[in-house]
Structure formats: structure tokens, C-alpha cells
Amino acid sequence: MSGEKEIRTKIKSIQSTQKITKAMEMVAASKMRKAQDRMAGTRPYARKIRNVIGHLAMAHPEYKHPFLVEREAKRVGFIVISTDRGLCGGLNINLFKKAVTAMKEWQEQGVEIDLCVIGSKASNFFRRHGNIVSEITHLGDTPHIAELIGTIKVMLDSYEEGRIDRLYLVANEFINTMSQKPYVQQLIPVEASEEEELKHHWDYLYEPDSKEVLDGLLMRFIESQVYQGVVENVACEMAARMVAMKSATDNAGTIINELQLVYNKARQAAITQEISEIVAGAAAVG
Amino acid sequence: MAMTIHVDIVSAEEEIYSGPANEVFAPAVMGEVGILPRHSPLITHLKPGEVVVRQEGKEDQYFFVSGGILEVQPHVVTVLADTAIRAADIDEAEAKAAKERAEEAMRNSQSDQEYAKANAELLEAIAQLRMLEHIRKKVAR
């Protein structure tokens, strides 16, 4: 029998794969909702602190914090945020492409690159392509800012000691369930805000003094931007996985339908053959 | 109508308050500050305590912050709180327990780091309790 049984086992195995992808889709969907809520919660803080920092870069403090001073770039740092697990479509690959393009631009100018990777996918990818100075993986679905601080501090320290002259963040932005966009953001030196009314010469009053306030504020700023990136990345991961698993489930359905047709044809052919054999046998006897 | 200033209070987890006010009080490290509209630009650290938003014709609103940063622009006040809770949400029993825990930890602490951590927790718990008393007095009046 031309593979009737084989086709049947094949259909079975695809069906069980389909069940798995279906389940993964639903898990991702429910996790996405939670991740999205968390992301919406942390966004205002990240946005507000970016505003404040933008204002600050326009001010003229007597104390020049190193994070506010532009230096000639001899070596730049990148913080890349990826997922820990795969099966989430092109999310990580698109992000890495963006990161690699940005790094190429620097490398063509003879600038070297230090990397800080978050998530095991980035860690695996850049192990072959770059110089990783710090990494953290397996943050889980509910990352905490405390877990990130050490990793980020490595980069901040190397900036303060002059080993790197720029720091960029490469992460995914959650636009909606269907689309996530990788972006590159300059963290240090801090970029000034565009507001017109602040263009004149002015400065803050600092309490207790500008050094202490700026140190604390800038540290918090970097941490909150990276944390926001991580939280957003979880939402992106879940959304991308949900979409990828949905299309996998749909594809499995199509393949099953096609195989079912082939199977039916094979079965019909077998029956027809059997009948014609019997008829031929009967004719020979008669 | 009196002049107002826009106030945003955000914590790392969520947006807590956003709206106009006639006057804002905040626990800056150098002492409590009161901010009126057109205050000159100011930036300062906050210590654990309460942020009060006063609005004409409305009751004062209290928010607990356990530290953070205050930025003042002439028409905008931004409180970047480490954690901010609406005063009504503070559980007194929880606050007392936290205070005891912190005191206990301070007695038993070995390293400087542990001591500093316990001390911070204690300050926070005390600030929460003080704020609750404050509110209670207001209600009794």
C-alpha cells in the first residue's frame, strides 16, 4: 500500500506539533497582556526622566558631569537587549541587524566597540562578533531593576574611566501586537531636549549641590532607560511569539489538509484496485 | 482665578498623579520645600516623606514617597519617586511591622552595608507612620 500508513503517522505527528504551537500561542497571548500592562506602567517614569535630563542638558551647571560632556569617540559601548528564548519570529534577528549596522558605521571610522548584552540570544550571537564586557541572562518575565544595576554599572564605570566615549542602547520598541521596531538610542553623552523656551542661558538651583544631584539623577536616568527597554522587550517577545506561533498553527493546519487529501486519494486507489482484482478474479472463474 | 502649576508624580512602576495645583510641598533632603507657580528652576533629591498637592476648592492630596528626585520648572513640577503610594493606600499595620523589622535588622546587622539598608528601611517606615498620623489628625479635626 503506497505509504497509506506513513501518511497517517505523518498527519498524527503534525497534529501534535500543532497542538504545541497552539498552546504556546495562548500562553504568549496571556503573558503579553501582563507584560503590556507593566510596560504601560513604567513608560511615564522613563519619559518624564528623559524630559528632565533633556532640560538638564540645556542648563549650564558649574559642575560639568562627565555624562554631559561630549568627547571624541575612540571606543563606543553598546547595550543590546534581546530575549532569552527563541521561537519569536524575526524579533531578535531584526534587532541584531540594526545593532550590527550601527556598529559597522563606527568600525569603518576605526572605532572599537565594547558590548553589554542582556538576554541569552544576544549573548550567543555577539560572542562570535564582538567584545562582550558584561552580560546578564535569564531575567524572566518580570525583570527587576536591581538585577540590571550591576551589568549597567560596568558600562558606566568604563565610561567614567575613559575606556568608552559613547554609550548606545539597542532595543525593541513595542508599537502594537503586530509590529515591533528596533531602535538605537544614545544614552551618554546625554542629548539635549529641543524645547525652544529653554534656549536662553539659565541654570537650576541645586540642593544640596549640583554634583550630588547630577550623579544620582544621571545614574537613575540610565538605569530607567535600560529597565524600560527590558520591560518593553518582554512585551515585544510575547507579541512576536504569539504571532509566530499563530502562523505556525495555521501552516500546520494547511499541511494537514493537504496530507488528508493525499491520504484519501491513496485509500481510494487501494480500494479501486482491490475491487478490480476481485472482479477480474470472478470473471476468470466464471 | 489663582495661578496654577502642573504637577506630575511618577514612580518607576506607574503614573500616580498628573494635574494642576496651586501649591506643592515636597520633602527635599535639605528640608521641606513649598513650591508656588513660577518658582525658579530647581532640582533636588527627596527623602522619605509626603508630597502634598494643594488645589483651590479641593482637599489636599497626600502622596508618600520613599525618596526620589524633584524637578521644578516655572510651570511644571515633576516628582520622580522611587516608590510613591497614595496616602490612603498605606497600611498602618504594615508600616509598623516594617519599622520593627528594620530596627531588628539594625540591631543584628554586621556589615556597614546591611546597616545602611536597615537604616533606609527604618526611615521609610517612620515617614509612612508620621504621614498616617498627619492624615488622622486632619480627619479628626
For the stretch A219-269, pLDDT in tens is 888 888 998 999 999 999 999 999 999 999 999 999 999 999 999 999 999
Cα atoms found within 13 Å of the Cα of residue B6, Cβ hemisphere only: 6
pLDDT digits over A87-123, tens only? 888 999 999 999 999 999 998 998 889 999 999 999 8
Look at residue A19 in the predicted model and tell me its pLDDT. Answer: 96
Main-chain dihedrals φ then ψ at residue A264, nearest 5 degrees: -60, -40
Instruction: With CB atoms and an 8 Å threshold, state whether B44 touches A207.
Output: yes
CA distance A270 to B57: 89
Confidence of residue A68 (pLDDT cuts 50, 70, 90): confident
Please report, in angstroms and rounded to a whole number, the separation of the first and last CA atoms in chain B: 28
Residues of A annotated as catalytic are 88
Is A118:A81 a contact under the CB 8 Å cutoff?
A: yes
A35 touches chain B (CB under 8 A): no
Confidence of residue A196 (pLDDT cuts 50, 70, 90): low
Q: How confident is the prediction for chain B on average, in pLDDT?
A: 82
CA distance A158 to A253: 53
A10-24, A69-83, A194-208 — which is least confidently predicted?
A194-208
Q: CA of A224, closest CA in chain B: separation in Å?
A: 8
**Percent of the residues in chain A that have a pLDDT greater than 90, as a whole number:** 47
CA distance A258 to A267: 14
3-state helix, strand, coil in chain B (%, to 5): 35, 40, 25
Is B28:A191 a contact under the CB 8 Å cutoff?
A: no
More confident residue, A80 or A51: A80
Look at residue A9 in the predicted model and tell me its pLDDT. Answer: 93
Dmax (CA) for chain A in angstroms is: 116
Asked if the model's pLDDT at residue B10 lies above 70, the reply is yes
Main-chain dihedrals φ then ψ at residue A205, nearest 5 degrees: -90, 135
Look at residue A1 in the predicted model and tell me its pLDDT. Answer: 47
Look at residue A174 in the predicted model and tell me its pLDDT. Answer: 92
Q: CA of A265, closest CA in chain B: separation in Å?
A: 60
Contacts of A129 (CB under 8 A, 6+ apart): A100
Instruction: With CB atoms and an 8 Å threshold, state whether B11 touches A45.
Output: yes
Q: Which residue, A54, A57, A6, A84, is CA-closest to A259? A: A6
Average pLDDT over residues B105-117: 76
User: Please, what sign has the CA dihedral across residues A235, A239, A240, A242?
Assistant: positive
CA distance A226 to A143: 11
CA distance A65 to B64: 30
Is B20:B28 a contact under the CB 8 Å cutoff?
A: no
Instruction: With CB atoms and an 8 Å threshold, state whether B78 touches A51.
Output: yes
Asked if the model's pLDDT at residue B2 lies above 80, the reply is no
Look at residue A169 in the predicted model and tell me its pLDDT. Answer: 93
Asked if the model's pLDDT at residue A17 lies above 60, the reply is yes
Strand pairing category for B84-86 and B68-73? unpaired
Q: Which residues of A touch B14 (CB under 8 A)?
A: 41-42, 44
Average pLDDT over residues A124-146: 85
Instruction: With CB atoms and an 8 Å threshold, state whether B14 touches A44.
Output: yes
Q: Report helix, strand or coil for A220.
A: helix
Mutation test of the interface with chain A: which of B71, B82, B85, choosing the one with the most A Cβ atoms within 10 A? B71
A63 touches chain B (CB under 8 A): no
A146 touches chain B (CB under 8 A): no
CA distance A119 to A142: 13
Q: How many CB atoms lie within 10 A of CB A3?
A: 12
Look at residue B84 in the predicted model and tell me its pLDDT. Answer: 64
Instruction: With CB atoms and an 8 Å threshold, state whether B41 touches A207.
Output: no
A242 touches chain B (CB under 8 A): no
Average pLDDT over residues A160-177: 91
Asked if the model's pLDDT at residue A162 lies above 60, the reply is yes
pLDDT digits over B25-47, tens only? 999 988 899 999 988 888 898 88
* Helix A145-160 / helix A210-285 crossing angle, nearest 10 deg: 120
CA distance A221 to A56: 12
CA distance A45 to B84: 12
Average pLDDT over residues B105-110: 74
Contacts across the A-B interface (CB distance below 8 Å): 69
Look at residue A93 in the predicted model and tell me its pLDDT. Answer: 93
Instruction: With CB atoms and an 8 Å threshold, state whether A45 touches B42.
Output: no
**What is the DSSP track for A42-107?**
HHHHHHHHHHHHHHHHHS--SS--GGGS----SEEEEEEE--SS--STTHHHHHHHHHHHHHHHHH
CA distance B100 to B107: 11
Q: Which residues of B touch A52 (CB under 8 A)?
A: 43, 69, 71, 78, 80
A225 touches chain B (CB under 8 A): no
- The pTM of this model reads 0.81
Asked if the model's pLDDT at residue A25 lies above 50, the reply is yes
